[in-house]
Chain A
Amino acid sequence: MRVEYINPFVESSVNVLKEVLGLQVRRENVSLKSKALPVLDIAVIVGLVGQVEGRVIFDLDRKTALNIASKMNDETLTEFDDLAKATITELGNMITGRAVTKLSELGYKFDVTPPAIFTGNNMEISDVNIEALIVPIETELGRVEVNVALREKA
């Protein structure tokens, strides 16, 4: 994966989380994996299409998802209901949107598809067979892993 793709995703993940949570967030070391990671309880997937293709997965456990959704809604959500799902899904959309905006300023033209959310531990995501960049983000509400896999279209 080209190095130019990486920074916009790292920056947008940190900055959007900071803005919507109003809390300090910290990025841990970025790593590259050749295989898609095993997924936690909740995964939001945003597809990328155009000059590059691939997807971004936001991976978090149920407790973290509920904490983040509660904070973003300014109310305590006690179950992972439709509102909580929609909140986490939109968070993934906002982070991806900002990264794609930055990448378009750098000359990479592509678009996002509407995000989808998967929950439960028996989920299976058929994935593109490309190298994935993992950006772990620690927040006071728990950890979010941003998993980016992109490749230029052949």
Chain B
Amino acid sequence: MGDEIPLGDKGDGTFYKVLIIDDSVFMIKQISQILQSQKFEVIGTAADGQEGIDKYKELHPKVDLVTLDITMPNVDGITCLEKIIEFDKNAKIVMMSALGKEDLVKKALLTGAKSYIVKPLDRDKILSRLKSVLSNTN
């Protein structure tokens, strides 16, 4: 087990770079810790949808993966998703929301999110979903 390659390892000596967008510093901390334990590099965080769009553009093309909350002040996560996809249709975005409503999940996936994880989050939930996202899109 200990010899396993961490999920964040791209296999070329570098690690996946992540932007975390969530209005809760608790969530940012929890997601960061889980990702960092697998060697993902958190290169940016944003506390609402507008900041998320701005950070994505600023960091582009360095961002390999975005985790995106939905319920946020100012600009929500669905609008943020639309804007990021509009800017970069290849963006790899994984929604992480407390809302699991079917219409919302469908909308997010149709708009271009690669996966949708319903909070509360835990290590296994995040890592197993990211594993399939990364293997499907590479």
Instruction: Provide the main secondary structure of the chain B interface.
Output: loop
Q: How far is the CB of A18 from chain B (nearest CB, A)?
A: 10
User: Does A64 count as interface, using CB distance less than 8 angstroms?
Assistant: no
- The interface residues of chain A lying within 8 Å CB-to-CB of B25 are 82-83, 86
How far is it, in angstroms, between the C-alpha of A86 and the C-alpha of B29 when the chains are bound? 10
Interface flags for A66-107 (1: CB within 8 Å of B; 0: not) read 000100110000000011001101100110111011001100
Contact B26 A83 (CB under 8 A): yes
- The interface residues of chain A lying within 8 Å CB-to-CB of B71 are 93, 97, 112-115
Interface flags for B92-125 (1: CB within 8 Å of A; 0: not) read 0000011111110000000000000011100000
How far is it, in angstroms, between the C-alpha of A124 and the C-alpha of B2 when the chains are bound? 53
- The interface residues of chain A lying within 8 Å CB-to-CB of B73 are 114
User: Does B27 count as interface, using CB distance less than 8 angstroms?
Assistant: yes
User: Does A1 count as interface, using CB distance less than 8 angstroms?
Assistant: no
User: Does A20 count as interface, using CB distance less than 8 angstroms?
Assistant: yes
- The interface residues of chain A lying within 8 Å CB-to-CB of B24 are 86-87, 89-90, 93
- The interface residues of chain B lying within 8 Å CB-to-CB of A130 are none
User: Does B41 count as interface, using CB distance less than 8 angstroms?
Assistant: no
Category for how many chain B residues contact A:
20 to 34
How far is it, in angstroms, between the C-alpha of A58 and the C-alpha of B97 when the chains are bound? 19
How far is it, in angstroms, between the C-alpha of A115 and the C-alpha of B70 when the chains are bound? 12
Residue in A19, A104, A114 whose CB lies within 8 Å of B102: A104
Shortest Cβ distance from A82 into B: residue:
B25
Shortest Cβ distance from B23 into A: residue:
A114
Given A73-B26, A87-B26; A94-B102 close (CB under 8 Å) = no
User: Does A16 count as interface, using CB distance less than 8 angstroms?
Assistant: yes
Instruction: Please name 13 pairs of A and B residues whose Cβ atoms are closer than 8 Å in the assembled complex, sorted by A.
Output: A20-B120, A72-B26, A73-B26, A82-B25, A83-B26, A86-B26, A89-B24, A94-B119, A97-B71, A97-B118, A100-B101, A101-B99, A112-B99
Given contacts A72-B26, A93-B24, A93-B98, 11 further A-B contacts (CB under 8 A): A73-B30, A83-B29, A86-B24, A86-B27, A89-B24, A90-B27, A97-B98, A97-B100, A104-B102, A113-B71, A115-B71
The residues of B with any CB-CB pair to A shorter than 8 Å are 23-27, 29-30, 71-73, 97-103, 118-120
The residues of A with any CB-CB pair to B shorter than 8 Å are 16, 19-20, 69, 72-73, 82-83, 86-87, 89-90, 93-94, 96-98, 100-101, 104-105, 112-115
